[in-house]
């Protein structure tokens, strides 16, 4: 079976673009979570959109699952071949085709790295706001497919707010364009582009996008404040959200995250046991400068004794340091980790965080919280060792209890990472059978055998050859 698959793939793509040896496939078994491994039967790396279209033309006849993969930084088990099959790595489709400064849009291929796009836009005085913390690695294809968010999405909104158009290839090889540089519906009566964004590779292969740009803010001020407890931190978050200074970002690191940073080489002098808030305001210089003191005053009034702020790039980077370093440090601390991505109404923040601590402590599992506090987008990271029998099961039980409470307080399962196969078991906590059936009918309309990324989002979405 594997020989015949390899043979068929080599008929669809040039030889060097088909990977089949165990050593070549080893890097494609997992995503950013790392602890669950599903080796694909093969990986293909199309050189361009035409080669990808050629592959998709023949893909249905291969009779195996097709899984799209950008940089593989997903934290929900998205780009992994749970049912085996072919992983399509988009790393070669990385052309920025046009930056249209006058029209405030750009046209990019799906494999373009997010930070590469940022760097290319900067000299033109424009920017693309969605900013997942994985920016140095992740691709725009992964961002669109998972409707990525990021620190500045509190003010600017998430990826779906910036996608003007999507070019997508279906499993029969047909190429469709939804929207375009002018946005809207493109040649379609309905806005199908909205179906594509956040579809997690279950509908089609995206090749290129038209993205909306904004003028770079004239001025940015960054603030860092620490608090002795959750109550005062929460008061600061509520006051900031309600204030007309309208911050671009409100990020939080809990005391366990602070301890993790302070015991590493990235230490930056945060007080032991403190909660850290990182806030940013931006916009026209005169307007933003006029708001600086009122933001600092809000942070102080809520109970911070140590509010630091700056508009100088070097110092701003220092203020960001603890927040930015935390993601990488998590990976160094423990062999495996699971991160949840729940969104909760902000009034429930203290209660849900306490539940995370209580559950994790009772199970002797380390939990670190670093997240987009302005959006109520929690990211509890549970650190464990998947080689120790029973540890994963403990983390899964804590996660399930957490998700149950999240739903009870009016929250939902994912703010930005998507459902993938890691969170699919929680879908019935939010959606009833009728809703699940209706939602499942969408991928079924695009690929009835569920050949595109099976067992993602819905844990009963099996590919049936």
Which residues lie near ligand FAD (CB under 6 A)?
Answer: 31-32, 67-75, 78-79, 90, 110, 132-134, 138-139, 141-143, 145-146, 148-150, 200-201, 205-206, 327, 416-417, 453
DSSP annotation string for 177-229: EEE-TT-TTTTSSS-THHHHTT-TTSS-EEEEEEEE-EEPPSEEEEEEEEESS
> Smallest distance from the beta carbon of 9 to ligand FAD, in angstroms?
18
> Smallest distance from the beta carbon of 427 to ligand FAD, in angstroms?
15
Contacts of 286 (CB under 8 A, 6+ apart): none
Q: Which is nearer to ligand FAD, 68 or 298 (CB)?
A: 68
Tokens representing 203? 């509908």
Q: Which is nearer to ligand FAD, 212 or 372 (CB)?
A: 372
Q: Which is nearer to ligand FAD, 31 or 254 (CB)?
A: 31
> Smallest distance from the beta carbon of 109 to ligand FAD, in angstroms?
9
> Smallest distance from the beta carbon of 373 to ligand FAD, in angstroms?
13
- Using alpha carbons, select from 152, 309, 291, 144 the residue that is nearest to residue 223: 309
Q: Within 10 Å of residue 259's Cβ, how many Cβ atoms?
A: 16
Q: Which residues pair with 88 in a beta bridge?
A: 44, 68
Q: Which is nearer to ligand FAD, 107 or 200 (CB)?
A: 200
Contacts of 3 (CB under 8 A, 6+ apart): none
Identify the three-state secondary structure at position 198: coil
Q: Which is nearer to ligand FAD, 133 or 304 (CB)?
A: 133
For the four alpha carbons of 379, 383, 389 and 390, in that order, the dihedral sign comes to: negative
Q: What are phi and psi of 303, to 5 degrees?
A: 125, 15
Tokens representing 34? 């790392």
Q: What distance in Å separates the CA atoms of residue 44 and residue 15, rounded to the nearest whole number?
A: 10
| Token pair 């670093």 in the structure block, residue | 370
Q: Which is nearer to ligand FAD, 287 or 445 (CB)?
A: 445
Q: Which is nearer to ligand FAD, 8 or 139 (CB)?
A: 139
Tokens representing 263? 């015991």
> Smallest distance from the beta carbon of 327 to ligand FAD, in angstroms?
3
Q: Which is nearer to ligand FAD, 255 or 418 (CB)?
A: 418
Q: What distance in Å separates the CA atoms of residue 294 and residue 170, rounded to the nearest whole number?
A: 52
> Smallest distance from the beta carbon of 37 to ligand FAD, in angstroms?
15
Q: Which is nearer to ligand FAD, 68 or 403 (CB)?
A: 68
DSSP annotation string for 83-125: T--EEEE-TT---EEEEETTTTEEEEETT-BHHHHHHHHGGGT
For the four alpha carbons of 199, 339, 431 and 80, in that order, the dihedral sign comes to: positive
> Smallest distance from the beta carbon of 355 to ligand FAD, in angstroms?
23
First vs last C-alpha separation in the chain: 13
Q: Which is nearer to ligand FAD, 304 or 420 (CB)?
A: 420
> Smallest distance from the beta carbon of 410 to ligand FAD, in angstroms?
21
Q: Which residues of 390-401 are buried (b: 16+ CB within 10 A; e: fewer)?
A: ebbebbeebbee
> Smallest distance from the beta carbon of 321 to ligand FAD, in angstroms?
15
C-alpha distances (whole Å) from 245 to each of 221, 237, 306 are: 12, 13, 20
> Smallest distance from the beta carbon of 6 to ligand FAD, in angstroms?
22
Phi-psi region of 86 (alpha: psi -120 to 50; beta: other; left: phi over 0): beta
DSSP label at residue 32: T
Identify the three-state secondary structure at position 300: helix
Identify the three-state secondary structure at position 227: strand
> Smallest distance from the beta carbon of 65 to ligand FAD, in angstroms?
11
Q: Which residue is nearest to ligand FAD (CB)?
A: 142
Q: Which is nearer to ligand FAD, 296 or 406 (CB)?
A: 406
Q: What distance in Å separates the CA atoms of residue 413 and residue 415, rounded to the nearest whole number?
A: 7
Q: Which is nearer to ligand FAD, 298 or 454 (CB)?
A: 454
Q: What are phi and psi of 370, to 5 degrees?
A: -140, 120
> Smallest distance from the beta carbon of 204 to ligand FAD, in angstroms?
7
């Amino acid at each position: 079976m594997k020989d015949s698959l390899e043979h068929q793939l080599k008929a669809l793509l040039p030889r060097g673009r088909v990977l089949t040896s165990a050593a070549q496939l080893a890097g494609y078994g997992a995503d950013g979570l790392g602890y669950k491994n599903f080796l694909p039967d093969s990986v293909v790396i199309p050189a361009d959109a035409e080669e990808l279209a050629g592959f998709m033309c023949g893909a249905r006849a291969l009779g195996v699952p097709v899984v799209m993969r950008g940089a593989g930084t997903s934290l929900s088990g998205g780009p992994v071949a749970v049912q085996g099959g072919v992983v399509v790595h988009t790393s070669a489709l990385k052309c920025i085709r046009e930056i249209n400064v006058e029209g405030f849009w750009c046209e990019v291929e799906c494999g373009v790295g997010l930070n590469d796009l940022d760097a290319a836009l900067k000299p033109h005085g424009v920017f693309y706001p969605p900013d997942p913390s994985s920016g140095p690695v992740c691709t725009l294809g992964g961002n669109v497919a998972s409707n990525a968010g990021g620190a500045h999405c509190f003010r600017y909104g998430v990826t779906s707010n910036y996608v003007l158009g999507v070019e997508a290839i279906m499993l029969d090889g047909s190429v469709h364009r939804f929207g375009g540089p002018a946005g809207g519906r493109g040649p379609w009566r309905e806005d199908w582009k909205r179906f594509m964004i956040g579809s997690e590779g279950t509908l089609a292969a995206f090749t290129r996008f038209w993205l909306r740009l904004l003028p770079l803010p004239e001025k940015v001020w960054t603030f860092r404040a620490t608090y002795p407890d959750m109550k005062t931190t929460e008061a600061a978050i509520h006051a900031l959200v309600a204030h007309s200074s309208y911050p671009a970002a409100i990020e939080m690191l809990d005391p366990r995250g602070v301890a993790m940073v302070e015991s590493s080489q990235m230490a930056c002098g945060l007080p032991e046991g403190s909660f850290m808030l990182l806030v940013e305001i931006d916009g026209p210089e005169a307007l933003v400068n006029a708001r600086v003191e009122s933001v600092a005053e809000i942070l102080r009034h809520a109970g911070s004794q140590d509010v630091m702020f700056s508009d100088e790039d070097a110092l701003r980077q220092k203020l960001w340091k603890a927040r930015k370093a935390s993601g990488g440090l998590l990976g160094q601390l423990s062999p495996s980790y699971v991160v949840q991505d729940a969104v909760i109404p902000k009034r429930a923040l203290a209660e849900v965080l306490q539940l995370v601590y209580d559950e994790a402590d009772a199970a002797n599992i380390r939990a670190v919280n670093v997240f987009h506090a302005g959006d109520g987008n929690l990211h509890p990271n549970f650190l464990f060792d998947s080689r120790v029998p029973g540890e994963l099961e403990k983390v899964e039980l804590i996660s399930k209890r957490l998700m149950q409470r999240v739903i009870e307080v009016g929250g939902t399962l994912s703010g930005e990472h998507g459902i993938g196969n890691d969170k699919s078991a929680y879908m019935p906590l939010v959606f009833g059978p009728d809703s699940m059936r209706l939602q499942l009918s969408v991928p079924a309309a695009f690929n009835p055998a569920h050949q595109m990324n099976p067992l993602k989002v819905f844990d009963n979405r099996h590919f049936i050859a």
